[in-house]
Amino acid sequence: MAATKKASAGTKGLEDLFLDGLKDIYYAEKKILKALPKMAKGAEDAQVSAAFEKHLVETEGQVERLEQVFDILGIAARGKTCPAIDGIIEEGSEILEEYKGSTSIDAGLVAAAQAVEHYEIARYGTLIAWATSLGKDDIVELLNATLEEEKATDDALTSLGESGVNDRAAEQQKAA
């Protein structure tokens, strides 16, 4: 039988994890706001570019929702450096540089964007679970609205890949 450690007054708890997670996703969303216009401009396919532009508008709303969450909590909206999102965005930047002018760039950008979406889906899902455990129902509602948008964006990106972006990249490879 495992012994249970008694938490001391200085021990961090679920509320601290929740706040750190909010700061992390706020930082991530702000970074994504900067990356999306570059991805939209770098895409060869008009539908891929339009998808990034659409998600830019959604992300602006998601940042506003997070700022509402911070307001509800009575704390300043501040990000916390997130090495995970920095790395995912860096991969997207590499695709923009290395595949410029190639029809494969769209497949690469869609994949990079899905990596971002999957990170966000995981983070928002966790934040919702923690907010639920902490009894923050008003915050759960705000976070859930964003989670649903992230899932819809992921589905849209999957559809883009399956509707021709991946096939065009494969055709280019066969022709080479």
Task: Judge contact between 135 and 65, C-beta under 8 A.
Answer: no
- Separation of alpha carbons 40 and 61, rounded Å: 18
Q: Is the pLDDT of residue 92 over 50?
A: yes
Matching residue, tokens 């570059």: 38
- Distance, in Å, from the CA atom of 118 to the CA atom of 137, rounded to the nearest integer, reads 24
With beta carbons less than 8 A apart as the criterion, state whether 39 and 92 touch: yes
Distance, CA of 105 to CA of 165 (rounded, Å): 9
Instruction: Give the mean pLDDT of the chain.
Output: 92
Q: Which domains does the chain have, with CATH numbers?
A: 14-75+83-175 (1.20.1260.10)
Distances in Å between the alpha carbon of 163 and those of 55, 108, 167? 19, 15, 8
pTM: 0.89
3 state SS of 75: coil
Enumerate residues 6+ apart whose C-beta is below 8 A from 23.
Answer: 78, 79, 80
4-62, pLDDT tens digit by residue? 455 555 789 999 999 999 999 999 999 999 999 999 999 999 999 999 999 999 999 99
Q: Report the C-alpha gap between 176 and 163 in whole angstroms.
A: 22
Q: Is the pLDDT of residue 3 over 50?
A: no
